[in-house]
Structure 1
Amino acid sequence: MATVTRTNGLGHEHEVLYSTANLKAYVLDAPNLAAEGGIGKSLEFIGQSLQPLMMNSEGTSGLVNLIMDGSQTTAASLQERVRAWGSSVGSNGIDFSSATVTEGGQILVSA
């Protein structure tokens, strides 16, 4: 029986973030977000303003992971929107005017 060597396909590689649904992962590096969870706080404002499909903030360092519709957003457009919030976000007046947004290249999920 003859064998056929496949030469076409995606050929998944390590250290590449793949999406079959046009999703993009971003990391929002904001100021210290200690005490910013809850009603009227900065984390709620981020969720309401950016409308991510998924969002996660672990700890208080200011890093917020966002899963967004990749056809509607880029890291640059998100960063522009976030910085436009200015210096008085949430009930504690957090300054987002120098926050950065980068496109994520890895997803780590743990229990």
Structure 2
Amino acid sequence: MIPAYDLTMGKNYFFRQHKAVVSDRHNYYLKDVLRAATSAITYFPPAGIATVNGKKACCFVDGGVFAVNPSLSAYAEFRYLHHSLYSKNTMMLSLGTGKQATYLDCADIEHLGCGRMARSW
């Protein structure tokens, strides 16, 4: 399950393998899914992608717009699909991007624009 935000419909979207198997309208190429799910608004343009059969096209941006913790979304989906399993019988490994080593002071960076702030990290 991979989160993205659908600008075409104005709503959250999860790319789900089990839905792609049963319906062409949810079947996208993995390269397009990854492009859509990583289109961070301030860094990359939105990703206009189409389904494998070309019948449906949408415009997506990074799923972090609504799913700041995608592991929680994946867990909720898992519980929805597997009612009989209990939390105590379930384990999840969530890999993050690490720990921020640099902390910025607001007074020191208030004059910087977005591009200059990114370079300062």
TM-score by length of 2: 0.30
Structure with more helix by fraction: 2
Higher relative contact order (CA 8 A, sep 6+): 1
